[in-house]
Structure 1
Amino acid sequence: MTGSAEKGFKWWQGAIVYQVYPRSFFDTNGDGIGDLEGIAAKLSYIEALGADAVWLSPVYPSPDRDFGYDVSDYCDVDGKFGTLAGFDALLAALHERGLRLILDQVLAHTSDRHPWFQESLLSRDNEKADWYVWAEAREDGTPPNNWLSAFGGAAWSWHPLRQQYYFHKFLRQQPKLNFHNKDVVRAVMDVLRFWLARGVDGFRLDVANSFVHDAELKDNPPLPLEERSFLDWVHAPRLQRHIYDANTEENEWAMREVRGVMEEFDDRWAFGEFSEEPSRLPLYAGAGKLHTGYTFHFLEAWSFESVTFRAYYEEALAAAPALWPCITFSNHDVIRTVTRWGGGAGDDALAKLCLMILMTLRGTVLMYQGEELGLPEADLERGDIKDPVGDLYFPFAKGRDGCRTPMPWVSAAHEAGFTDGTPWLPIPESHRMRAVDVQEAEPASVLNFTRALIRFRKAEKALTYGAIRFLEAGDGVLAFEREYEGEVRRCFFNLTREAVSVPASGEVLFETGEAVLREGALRLGPHAGVVVA
Structure 2
Amino acid sequence: MNESVRLPDARPPRPWWQGAVIYQIYPRSFADSNGDGIGDLPGIRRHLDYVASLGVDAIWLSPFFTSPMKDFGYDVADYCDVAPVFGTLADFDALVARAHALGLRVVIDQVYCHTSDEHAWFAESRSSRTNPKADWYVWADAKPDGSPPSNWQSVFGGPAWTWDARRQQYYMHNFLKEQPQLHGHNPEVQDALLETARFWLDRGVDGFRLDAINFMMHDPALTDNPPAPPSDRPRTRPFDYQLRLYNQGHADIVPFLERIGALLDHYDARFTVAEVGGEDAEREMKLFTAGEHRLNTAYGFDFLYAEALTPETVDHAVSGWDDAPGVGWPSWAFENHDAPRALSRWPTPGHERAFAACKMMLLMCLRGNVFLYNGEELALTQVDVAYEDLQDPEAIANWPMTLSRDGARTPVPWLADAPNCGFSTGRPWLPLGHDHAALAVDRQEGDAGSMLHLTRRMTALRKAHPALAVGDWRVLHAGPALLAFERTAGGQTLLCAFNLGAQPVEWAPAQPARWRTIETVNGATDWAFPAYGAVVAERMG
**TM-score, normalized by length of structure 1?**
0.95
Stretch deviating more after TM superposition (246-255 or 443-452): 246-255
What SS class does the counterpart of residue 407 from structure 2 fall into?
Answer: helix
Aligned with 1:282 (options 280, 283, 286):
286
Number of the residue aligned with 1:259: 261
In the other structure, the counterpart of 2:459 is: 454
Correspondence 1:296-375 to 2 at 5 A: 296-315=301-320, 322-342=327-347, 347-375=352-380
Q: Specify the alignment match of 2:271 in structure 1.
A: 269
Within 5 A, what are the aligned runs for 1:241-256? 241-256=243-258
Q: 1:348 to 1:126 in 2, by over 3 A?
A: same
1:443 to 2:448 alignment: yes
Q: Is residue 170 of structure 2 the alignment partner of residue 172 of structure 1?
A: no
After superposing the two structures, state which structure 1 stretch, 339-348 or 104-113, moved more: 339-348
TM-superposition CA deviations, 1:232-277 (whole Å, max 9, x none): x233312212221111122111211211111121111111000122
Is contact 1:336-1:375 (8 Å) kept? yes
The superposition leaves residues 411-452 of structure 1 with CA deviations (integer Å, 9 ceiling, x where unpaired) of: 111000000010000001211111101111111110010011
Q: Distance in 2 between matches of 1:27 and 1:182?
A: 40
Using the TM superposition, give the Cα deviation of residue 223 of structure 1 relative to its aligned residue in structure 2, in angstroms: 2.1
Deviation, 1:366, is: 0.7
Q: Distance in 1 between matches of 2:27 and 2:348?
A: 26
Listed as ranges, the matches of 1:44-193 within 5 Å are: 44-193=49-198
Verify: 1:395 aligned to 2:400, yes or no. yes
Question: Is contact 2:276-2:300 (8 Å) kept?
Answer: yes
- In structure 1, the residue matched to 2:412 is 407
SS of alignment partner, residue 191 of structure 1: helix
Question: Per-residue deviation at 1:472?
Answer: 1.8
State the one-letter code of the partner of 1:479: A
Is the CA contact 2:212–2:277 (under 8 Å) kept in the aligned structure 1? yes
- SS of equivalent residue, structure 2 residue 209: strand
Task: Give the alignment partner of residue 234 of structure 1, picking from 233, 236, 244.
Answer: 236
Distance 1:477 1:19, change over 3 A: same
Please, what is the CA RMSD of the aligned residues? 1.6
The residue aligned with 2:516 is 507
Question: Aligned partners of 2:209, 2:444: CA distance in 1, in Å?
Answer: 30
Question: Would you say the 8 A contact 1:150–1:170 is kept in 2?
Answer: yes
| Residues 346, 375 of structure 1: 8 Å contact kept | no
The Cα shift of 1:94 comes to: 0.7
> Greater shift after overlay, 295-304 or 28-37?
295-304
Count residues in correspondence.
Answer: 521
1:250 aligned partner, one-letter code: D
**Distance in structure 2 (CA, Å) of the matches to 1:485 and 1:457:** 14
Classify the secondary structure of the residue corresponding to 1:429. coil
Query: Is the 1:338–1:346 contact (alpha carbons within 8 Å) kept by the matching residues of 2?
Result: no
Deviates further, 129-138 or 260-269: 260-269
Distance in 1 (CA, whole Å) between partners of 2:393 and 2:321 is: 30
What residue is the counterpart of 2:8 in the other structure?
none
Corresponding residue of 2:485 = 480
Indicate the residue corresponding to 2:206 in structure 1.
Answer: 201
Whole-angstrom distance in 2 between the partners of 1:318 and 1:192: 30
Q: CA deviation at 1:392?
A: 1.4
CA contact (8 A) 2:290 2:326 kept: no
Match of 2:3 in 1: none
Q: Is the 8 A contact 1:282 1:319 kept in 2?
A: no
Output the CA distance in 2 between the equivalents of 1:18 and 1:352: 17
Q: 2: CA distance between counterparts of 1:257 and 1:246?
A: 19
Match of 1:422 among 416, 420, 427: 427
User: Structure 2 unaligned runs (5+)?
Assistant: 1-10
Q: Is the 8 A contact 1:410 1:417 kept in 2?
A: yes
Tell me how far apart the structure 2 counterparts of residues 470 and 361 of structure 1 sit (CA, whole Å): 11
Q: 1:3 maps to which residue?
A: none
The whole-number CA distance in structure 1 between the counterparts of 2:170 and 2:533 is 55
Q: Which runs of 5+ in 1 are unaligned?
A: 1-5
Change in CA separation of 1:116 and 1:292 when aligned onto 2, cut-off 3 Å: same
CA apart distance, 1:67: 0.2
CA contact (8 A) 1:480 1:492 kept: yes
Letter in 1 for 2:251: E
Match of 1:22 in 2: 27
Q: State whether residues 311 and 479 of structure 2, in contact with CA within 8 Å, keep that contact through their aligned partners in structure 1.
A: no
More deviation in 178-187 or 161-170? 178-187
> Post-superposition shift, 1:400?
0.4
Displacement over 4 Å in runs of 4+: 316-321, 343-346
Deviates more, 1:257-266 or 1:71-80: 257-266
Greater shift, 425-434 or 105-114, is seen at 425-434
Q: Give the counterpart letter for 1:112 in structure 2.
A: D
The one of 12, 15, 36 aligned to 1:10: 15
After TM superposition, give the deviation of residue 515 of structure 1 in Å: 1.1
Cα pair distance change 1:241/1:43, threshold 3 Å: same
Shift of 1:380: 1.0
What do residues 367-412 of structure 1 show as CA deviations (whole Å, max 9, x unaligned)?
A: 1000000111111111110001110122233420000000000111
Aligned-partner SS, 2:78: coil
Amino acid at match of 1:265: Y
CA distance in 2, matches of 1:243, 1:493: 38
Separation in structure 1 between the aligned mates of residue 150 and residue 174 of structure 2, nearest angstrom: 13
1:211–1:254 Cα contact (<8 Å) kept:
no
8 Å CA contact 1:439, 1:448 repeated in 2: yes
Task: State the identity %.
Answer: 44
Letter in 1 for 2:362: I
Task: Give deviations 1:446-472, integer Å, cap 9, x for gaps.
Answer: 001001111111101111110111112
Q: Secondary structure at the match of 2:66?
A: coil
